Amino acid sequence: MKSILILHGPNLNLLGQREPEVYGVVTLDEINQRLVTFAAEHGVELRTVQSNHEGELIDALHDADDWADGVIFNPGGYTHTSVALRDAVAAIKVPVVEVHLSNIHAREEFRRQSLIASVCAGTIAGFGWRSYVLGLEWYIGKLGDW
């Protein structure tokens, strides 16, 4: 069975509780449940991790290189600041898809730059929790070779 890591960065544990106009009303647990169900329907095992700590996110990326067939990563605010996370993504062999709930290109100037994007297989932004589903669909197609 193929395995994918869903990696959520800082503050995403607050989803559904604050700023629903920007990030929606669905909680992180609900998003994870929906993704696990969708993946299982396609014969893919998911592991989900959320951390507010840069080093823990780096460790999760390094670990994923040993067991995962793909990573879907929302680096949160670190998207725009973290050379260390960029280096971690660049250092692993497993492909990483960057996802964002909001359309970072339609927001403040400082969110328009991603330090992560150029070392990822691709980026999906602006589709709420469905950004993660679109990332999964890419892996499911790729891993199933269609």
**Chain position carrying tokens 């730059």:** 113
Q: Given the complex with ligand CA2, which of 68 and 104 has the nearer CB atom?
A: 104
Q: Which residues bind ligand CA2 (CB under 6 A)?
A: 11-12, 14-15, 18-19, 23, 74, 76-77, 79, 100-102, 104, 111
Q: CA 7, 128, 123, 54 torsion: positive or negative?
A: negative
Query: Would you call 100 a catalytic residue per the annotation?
Result: yes
Classify residue 50 as exposed, middle or buried by CB count within 10 Å of its CB (0-12, 13-18, 19+): buried
In the complex, minimum distance from the CB of residue 144 to ligand CA2, in angstroms, rounded to a whole number: 27
Task: Please choose, from the candidates 144, 132, 141, 140, the residue with its C-alpha nearest in 3D space to the C-alpha of residue 34.
Answer: 132
Quote the crossing angle between the two packed helices 54-67 and 83-91, to the nearest 10°.
Answer: 10
- Cβ-based nearer residue to ligand CA2, 14 or 83: 14
Residue whose pair of structure tokens reads 């670190």 in the numeric block:
78
- For the question of residue 139 being annotated catalytic, the response is no
Q: How far is the CB of 134 from ligand CA2 (least distance, A)?
A: 13
Least CB distance to ligand CA2 at residue 3 (A):
23
Say which of 8, 78, 100, 132 is annotated catalytic. 100
Closer residue to ligand CA2, CB minimum distance, 41 or 109: 109
Active site residue ranges: 23, 100
